[in-house]
């Protein structure tokens, strides 16, 4: 199919749920993507947070290739060795407990919400935060504290209360005898790369312990090394009661996982919750490939080093351009808050071969693969600098 034809077929046959960029991609490797015309792009937002190892990592491909040649699917009433292996790895890397496998972030969060309600025995309210993002299914959407995503789909399922992020008193004021859990991202990704304060998270942990509430941490975007630790909570010296994962866990294939601490982890007994595809053999091989690569290639160390390098470069840009208001984030999850709309900058970067994202209107989000190189960062910064300079000139900054 030719490019114009592809656009036309999408228009006629696919629901218009995404605002789309007119690029057709056919190949990827590491931090590079190639479009249908053979043009290469530097991808600094691979797969919306999926591509922590970049595109088509050999360790992921190897596991997947091997598995599809043997057995593609096993339903969850049987056993297979690689689900066992992946669950063991996840628990080893996180905290004592058990895993439930799903297929996406929203689904992992739905599972967490159901588990919290089961634990609550009648207590069901979950406190979430303004500008949070937990997914698009109805309960996850109710947990998502952004009206722009909820508009038109009311009524939202009951039992969610949004309060101000990083404000422990707001949480305390929202508590009722029905409250069962607090759910949050440690860095709000879609909400503008807002980092949770350490004091706030410690206070939340304490509050949850005192009131017998579950602390649910949504690590769908921050997990799997994105912040230079395997999971974001490991920066805070706390352990969640429930953690959810998805995005980068499958190295590009769909998976979600909910991990609950040991004394909660048998509450969902046979028949209470399920997923047909959750934790199938192919995806488990992909995820095991991700962890193998992370270990063998010292990915966390590279994320730490390249995160510091990118942050330093961005700070230099901030010193040169008043249009940049703030740089924030952790590891290789960095936000550049602008005084202007970010969309024109994203578009101009794209024309010059650099793919980035803008979230919350004014925050450029950079989340390159964790195995990104200095050279790639230099190239990206060069493009970004040129674009911001030309924008700044136009808007008199």
Contact mark string toward ligand PLP, 27..66, x via CB under 6 A: ----------------------x-----------------
Q: Is 221 in the site for ligand PLP (CB under 6 A)?
A: yes
> Considering beta carbons, is residue 197 or 385 the nearer one to ligand PLP?
197
| Closest CB 109 distance from ligand PLP, rounded Å | 6
Relative to beta strand 125-129, strand 160-163 is parallel
> By the 8 A CB rule, do 314 and 172 touch?
no
Only one of the segments 19-27, 184-192, 334-342, 346-354 lies at the binding site for ligand PLP (rule: CB under 6 A); that segment is 184-192
| CA proximity to 131, closest of 86, 185, 202 | 185
> Considering beta carbons, is residue 235 or 313 the nearer one to ligand PLP?
235
Only one of the segments 196-204, 213-221, 295-303, 386-394 lies at the binding site for ligand PLP (rule: CB under 6 A); that segment is 213-221
DSSP states along 70-112:
T-S---TTS--HHHHHHHHHHHHHS-SEEEEEESSHHHHHHHH
Binding residue for ligand PLP (CB under 6 A) from 218, 241, 376, 391? 218
The rounded distance, in Å, linking the Cα atoms of 257 and 104 is: 8
Only one of the segments 159-167, 218-226, 235-243, 302-310 lies at the binding site for ligand PLP (rule: CB under 6 A); that segment is 218-226
Residue with the CB atom nearest ligand PLP in the bound state? 105
Q: Is 110 in the site for ligand PLP (CB under 6 A)?
A: no
| Closest CB 85 distance from ligand PLP, rounded Å | 23
Alpha helices in the chain (DSSP H): 3-13, 58-68, 81-93, 105-120, 138-143, 147-150, 168-174, 198-211, 281-296, 299-320, 343-351, 374-394
> Considering beta carbons, is residue 184 or 299 the nearer one to ligand PLP?
184
Number of Cβ atoms within 10 Å of the Cβ of 52: 28
| CA proximity to 249, closest of 117, 142, 81, 107 | 107
> Considering beta carbons, is residue 245 or 324 the nearer one to ligand PLP?
245
Binding residue for ligand PLP (CB under 6 A) from 184, 220, 248, 364? 220
Q: Is 216 in the site for ligand PLP (CB under 6 A)?
A: no
| CA proximity to 284, closest of 34, 66, 10, 3 | 66
Q: Does a cis peptide bond (omega within 30 degrees of 0) precede residue 86?
A: no
**What six digits make up the tokens of 173?**
């004021």
| Closest CB 283 distance from ligand PLP, rounded Å | 13
Only one of the segments 35-43, 81-89, 173-181, 217-225 lies at the binding site for ligand PLP (rule: CB under 6 A); that segment is 217-225
User: HSE on the CB side for 136, CA within 13 Å?
Assistant: 6
Query: Number of helices and strands (H, E) in the chain?
Result: 12, 17
Q: Is 134 in the site for ligand PLP (CB under 6 A)?
A: yes
Binding residue for ligand PLP (CB under 6 A) from 129, 133, 231, 236? 133
Binding region for ligand PLP (CB under 6 A)? 49, 104-106, 109, 133-135, 185, 189-190, 218, 220-221, 246-247
């Amino acid at each position: 199919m030719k490019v114009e034809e592809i656009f036309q077929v999408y228009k006629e046959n696919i629901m218009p749920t995404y605002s789309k960029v007119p690029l057709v991609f056919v190949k990827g490797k590491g931090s590079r993507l190639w479009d249908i015309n053979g043009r290469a792009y530097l991808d600094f937002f691979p797969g919306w947070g999926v591509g922590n190892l970049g595109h088509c990592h050999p360790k992921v491909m190897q596991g997947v290739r091997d598995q599809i040649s043997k057995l593609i699917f096993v339903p969850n009433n049987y056993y297979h060795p690689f689900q066992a292996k992946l669950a063991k790895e996840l628990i080893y890397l996180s905290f004592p407990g058990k895993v439930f496998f799903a297929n996406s972030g929203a689904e992992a969060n739905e599972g967490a919400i159901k588990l919290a309600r089961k634990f609550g025995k009648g207590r069901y309210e979950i406190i979430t935060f303004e500008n949070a993002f937990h997914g698009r299914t109805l309960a996850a959407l109710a947990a998502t504290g952004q009206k722009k995503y909820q508009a038109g789909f009311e009524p939202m399922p009951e039992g969610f209360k949004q309060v101000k992020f990083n404000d422990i008193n707001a949480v305390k004021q929202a508590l009722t005898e029905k409250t069962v859990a607090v759910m949050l991202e440690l860095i709000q990704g879609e909400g503008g790369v807002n980092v949770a304060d350490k004091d706030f998270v410690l206070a939340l942990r304490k509050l949850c312990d005192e009131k017998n509430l579950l602390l649910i941490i949504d690590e769908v975007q921050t997990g799997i090394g994105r912040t230079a630790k395997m999971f974001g909570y490991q920066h805070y010296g706390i352990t969640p009661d429930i953690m959810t994962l998805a995005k980068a866990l499958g190295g590009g294939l769909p998976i979600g996982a909910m991990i609950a601490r040991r004394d909660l982890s048998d509450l969902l007994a046979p028949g209470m919750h399920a997923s047909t595809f959750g934790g199938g053999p192919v995806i488990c091989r992909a995820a095991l490939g991700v962890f193998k690569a992370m270990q063998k290639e010292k990915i966390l160390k590279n994320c730490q080093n390249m995160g510091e390098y990118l942050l330093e470069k961005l700070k230099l840009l901030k010193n040169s351009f008043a249009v940049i208001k703030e740089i924030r984030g952790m590891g290789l999850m960095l936000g550049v808050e602008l005084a202007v709309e970010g969309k024109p900058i994203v578009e101009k970067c794209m024309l010059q071969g650099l793919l980035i994202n803008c979230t919350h209107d004014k925050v450029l989000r950079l989340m390159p693969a964790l195995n990104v190189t200095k050279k790639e960062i230099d190239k990206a910064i060069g493009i970004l600098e040129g674009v911001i300079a030309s924008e700044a000139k136009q808007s008199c900054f």
